[in-house]
Amino acid sequence: MSKVLTVIALFGAVLFGTATHAQAPPTLPQGNTGIAQGYPNDAGISGDARVLFFDGFESYTSASQLVSSGNYSNSYQGSNLLIDTAQDFLGTKSLRMRMPSTGSEVSNAIVRPVSP
């Protein structure tokens, strides 16, 4: 119990200590003023130097290709991942992460490191 209180106290000190000296981050763009304004339906947005990462899942035929493509460094619970052609947004494919009903933890994930 004392370890939990120590962690909470430390977190509180860090949170309140930095909150009083840091400036608020700039607000996010609203409406048609962000990067996407020049890319209707995101067409061509992957080529913009301001975009950190984009994946429409169009080039994959199976979820195992997510890591082998080099776009992702790892995946978890691969049997729950599926490149889906029935559910999509604007393109023809999407990544489906199935969440089975179970009494234990399930951590579906794909990992994409982003360098500064």
Letter for the amino acid at 12? G
Question: Which residues are within 8 A (CB) of 115 and not within 5 positions of it... i.e. 6 or more apart?
Answer: none
What pLDDT sits at residue 47? 92
> What are the tens digits of pLDDT across the range 104-116?
888 888 998 887 7
What pLDDT sits at residue 23? 85
Cβ neighbours, 10 Å, residue 11: 10
Cβ 84 vs Cβ 95: under 8 Å:
yes
Domains of the chain: which residue ranges?
51-100+107-116
pTM to 2 decimal places: 0.56
What pLDDT sits at residue 1? 44
